[in-house]
Structure 1
Amino acid sequence: MDIPQDPDMLSGMKDLLLIMIISYLPFKDAVRTSVLSKRWKNLCYQTRNVQFNETDFVDLSASEENKLARRALFVRFMSEWVSWFYGDRIDSFEVKFSKPDGFQGEMKSLIRFAVSKSVKNLVLDFSCGSENQVTAIDLPSCVYEKAKLESLNLYACGLVASSFKNMTSLKNLSLGFVELGSVQSLLMNTPLLESLTLRMCRNVDLVELINNERLRELIIENCDFTGSAFYFDVPCLEVFKYSGEFCHIVFDRLKRRMQEVCLDFGLETEFEETGEILCNILYDVASATTLTVCTYLLQEVPNGENPLSLDRPLETRCLTLKTSLYPHEFLGIRFMLKSCYILESLTLEIVPERILVDYYPPFEFDPDTLWEEKIIYRCLKNTLRVVKIKGFRGILYDLRFLQYLLRFGRVLQCLELHVSPDVGYNERIVALAGADTVNRRFRRASKNLVITVHNN
């Protein structure tokens, strides 16, 4: 007896359901569905998530002549694709095009098209990743006047912050390589904004953010500011990430436990005796569950009033140290371990050595014997269970610090040693030999410790 086969489930679906399925696919895959059959040929022209990425067309390592021709082909593809689109709306529209010189008209037409389809998430990235990036495309007025955006990402776009008055639905805003001005004015014009990211922005006035009850996430990366001190009255802030030059940051009225804080003053090269200021910043973000600090902080923070630890403990459970594990950071590492009473996870991201000009420690110490001292911090006795070293080198200072952790880490359960895939053959051999020494020869306070080596 013949057994009837199950019918093709997709063939029995209505076009509306198929369009919803296509809209969840990556845009390239959605376009590829057009070759499946006659019925599928035009369905992709109703997808609600459109992503035009230059790298799908242009090999950035090719000759300039080749890249110029491929960019022209890319622009033609985008223009033709939107001309075929016959859907009612678009949820997400993204264009990534690093050098749109000569195609400004086409780019503005694409933006107007997205706005006409009631786009909710708009991503326009015309940057080429250079610090000297200039404005590539000025936003057409329809973005300010008609768009009902909930999320907006703009990179290398000319914008007028004072024109954001109609963006009353905007919740997420990311700006990069733009001339910005007053951030406070921008936030006043976007009352529902919950997440703000600023990357490589110029002329940023961030002296104060006050009376903002909505902002949950603030990310600042290597911006050019009009001042060097910031006052944040953002009581509901949960995520704060800062990278760039050192600045004096004051947080007021924080009501919630912060989820994540990153303090990376990686552009600093000189020792400036900012230890007490850094301590005050750490006090303000003491509730952060996850905390990342840089080598600048590790060198400066012990030079506050108390060189051994904060007077009040941090509530950090996951701590990341960007460090070279060299002597000028040792006291700062001890400072952070002692200040984190309930630390559960410690990650070391090994970075190139950087000694601040005119650096000096708060007191003399012997770096060769420092980690041999029997100083057991509370987290080592009670809570620290996971240690990860990313970029493990197996050199002397790596081994001494690990020997200390294993000797006194009574509840350690997991030690992960990650050897960087970018190191040469000889460096890799040294790292693997060091990992073998840690695994075979170091005494362990915890019987439950498992050591793993990741060599990729």
Structure 2
Amino acid sequence: MVGETEKRRRVIGGEEDRISELPDALLLQILSLLPLKSAIRTGALSSRWRGLWGQRWPVPSSLCLRLPPGASAAARGEQLAATDRRGRRRMDCFTLTLHAGPLAQPDLMRCLDYAAACEVEDLHLRLDGSVGRGSRGGTRRPGMLTVHFPVGSPLLARLSVRGLNLTAAANAMVATLEVIHLHSVPLTDAALRRVVAACPRLRELEIRYCRRLRRIDFTNVGAANLKSFTIVDCSRATELRVPVAPRLRSFRFSGTFFSSNILSGGAMESLEHLYLCSGGPETGLPPTNLPSAVPRLSNLTVLTLCSIALQYVSAFAAKNVMESKLCSLRELHFLMFGMANSNLADIYSFLKTCCCPQLERLFVQLPAYTHDSFTENFLEVAEEEPPKGGLENLWLVKMTNFKGHRNEMQLVEFLLRKASCLKKLFLIAPKEDHHQGLRKVQSDVLMLSNFLKTKILLLERASANTQIIFSEPDGHQIQALHSEVFVRF
């Protein structure tokens, strides 16, 4: 028996791991005392703990209730009754997915009361079928279902609402809520302020397609713990005010740039991840101070800019004689809506103005259309001289929608000549979407591919070890960090 016990011992840091030797019943009791996030992290202790958190309740710890379109009132009632028969026991996650029409307000309240009684930590409410781009998901409709905030669970940590109305009580307090995702929610400015003010521990806020918002203002609402803030296509919003937020690490914005915005030095100086995308074709540069802060953000490690944001930075640099070092930047991503002379000049201007001595990964998303912008009314634009250095640590470049057009080739030549540590250069041909969901490489690119490959492989390289790869890598190992933010235009 002693030998058998020795075999079952687990040693951590040279000491016997006695906790992992406890019976499952006791381990599950320990896990039941932990918040969901902490319980999941115990899987790193040893193989014995891995996945054990999912068994910490005697019934399934997650419940997904889906009410399909066309379901009768009797069928809906039976689903809700089956949920009640589960009993009001602790639950980690509750997901309610419904379509427009199949649920009445009292039924929704019944589901929310049940989730609160089960002390749910993750709550996901989703209305399908009438939300998303091109819909009126951001405008309140007569008879729209309403979620009253706070929802009542004493342990709620994560709330996600899509396509439902959300109202917030004044002077509410939700001391446990850390993450809020709102998608196509007809939220007013005042309601958003009340929601944020009610959550002193809020660390992640994401707002998508909330088209009733006009003024996003978090001054004097206590957002001191906010670490990640995302705004996507809140098309009526014209003003943004974020107070000094010393813990803010990630700010991601996609949509029409605000004509009035204040991201004060205190709110921005700690940023590590920044995503700025204008969301459409170039229509001039309205007054805004959002992109002009980029050259001053010395703590950035990941930066994504669209071609319009690049224009702002370039224009700002031209008016303000300056040279800024983004000393911590490791990953840079350009989302190019065009690749004319002016666009290439903006890229060069950025690399000159914002020196990135530690840059390791560069992603360039080129426009998908097949004609060459250089040949269309851009010949009068003076060409910008490329920067002389600053890419000494760059080891990975990926260019998608590459077609071999003049300015695309110029950028490739520049990178090969200047990036002395470049290991891999991915040049990925554009792909075409079909109504059946299939994707195929465009035939005209295929016709040119062999010629392009030969031409590119003969280009001068600063590093003889540089691999030039013309196919998408297996899986998603080579993806930009901000890929999940991308919005298709």
Same fold (TM over 0.5): yes
| Correspondence for 1:345 among 337, 357, 361 | 361
Deviations 1:257-306 (A, max 9, x none): 423110111146421265x8355321453421000001211233322252
| Correspondence for 1:236 among 247, 251, 260 | 247
Name the residue aligned to 2:47. Answer: none
Tell me, yes or no, if the aligned pair for 2:116 and 2:151 is still in contact at 8 Å: no
| Correspondence for 2:136 among 128, 132, 157 | 132
Distance 1:125 1:164 in 2: 26
Name the residue aligned to 1:258. Answer: 271
Distance 1:351 1:74 in 2: 49
Distance 1:230 1:352 in 2: 35
Name the residue aligned to 1:188. Answer: 197
| Correspondence for 1:403 among 413, 417, 426 | 413
Deviations 1:392-429 (A, max 9, x none): 23333322221221122222111122334435541440
| Correspondence for 2:308 among 290, 296, 320 | 296
Q: 1:418 to 1:425 in 2, by over 3 A?
A: closer
Tell me, yes or no, if the aligned pair for 1:115 and 1:147 is still in contact at 8 Å: yes
Q: How does 1:57-68 map to 2 (within 5 A)?
A: 67-68=69-70
SS in 2 for 1:334: helix
Matched, 1:328 2:342: yes
| Correspondence for 2:402 among 375, 381, 392 | 392
How many residue pairs align between the two structures? 400
Deviations 1:289-337 (A, max 9, x none): 0000012112333222527985322232200000133323112111222
Deviations 1:166-196 (A, max 9, x none): 3121111111222231344432221111111
SS in 2 for 1:417: strand
Deviations 1:77-96 (A, max 9, x none): 74254133136211111122
Q: Write the letter of the residue equivalent to 2:118.
A: K
Post-superposition shift, 1:216?
0.5
Q: 1:123 to 1:434 in 2, by over 3 A?
A: farther
Q: 1:388 to 1:309 in 2, by over 3 A?
A: farther
Name the residue aligned to 1:198. Answer: 207
SS in 1 for 2:318: coil
SS in 1 for 2:109: helix
Distance 1:16 1:411 in 2: 50
Matched, 1:281 2:293: yes
Distance 2:83 2:252 in 1: 37
Q: 1:266 to 1:196 in 2, by over 3 A?
A: same
Name the residue aligned to 2:219. Answer: 209
Q: 1:440 to 1:227 in 2, by over 3 A?
A: closer
| Correspondence for 1:436 among 441, 453, 457 | 453
SS in 2 for 1:347: strand
Q: How does 1:140-155 map to 2 (within 5 A)?
A: 140=148, 143-155=150-162
Q: How does 1:95-114 map to 2 (within 5 A)?
A: 95-114=96-115
SS in 1 for 2:470: strand
RMSD over aligned Cα atoms = 3.8
Tell me, yes or no, if the aligned pair for 2:400 and 2:427 is still in contact at 8 Å: yes
Name the residue aligned to 2:184. Answer: 177
Deviations 1:335-383 (A, max 9, x none): 22221322221101223579xxxxx99x9414xxx5xx5x444323x22
Name the residue aligned to 1:33. Answer: none
Tell me, yes or no, if the aligned pair for 1:403 and 1:438 is still in contact at 8 Å: no
Name the residue aligned to 1:419. Answer: 429
Q: Provide structure 1 residue ranges, at least 5 long, that are not aligned to the other structure.
A: 1-11, 25-42, 59-66, 355-359
Post-superposition shift, 1:121?
1.0
Q: Give TM-score scaled by structure 1 length.
A: 0.75
Q: Write the letter of the residue equivalent to 2:464.
A: K
Q: 1:386 to 1:310 in 2, by over 3 A?
A: farther
Distance 1:389 1:76 in 2: 53
Q: 1:310 to 1:384 in 2, by over 3 A?
A: farther
Post-superposition shift, 1:163?
4.3
Q: Write the letter of the residue equivalent to 1:388.
A: K
Name the residue aligned to 2:283. Answer: 270
Deviates more, 1:206-215 or 1:301-310: 301-310
Q: 1:148 to 1:278 in 2, by over 3 A?
A: closer
Q: Write the letter of the residue equivalent to 1:452.
A: I
Q: Give TM-score scaled by structure 2 length.
A: 0.71
Deviates more, 1:345-354 or 1:151-160: 345-354
Q: Write the letter of the residue equivalent to 1:258.
A: L
Q: Write the letter of the residue equivalent to 2:245.
A: V
Distance 2:320 2:460 in 1: 26
Q: 1:273 to 1:165 in 2, by over 3 A?
A: closer
Tell me, yes or no, if the aligned pair for 1:184 and 1:209 is still in contact at 8 Å: no
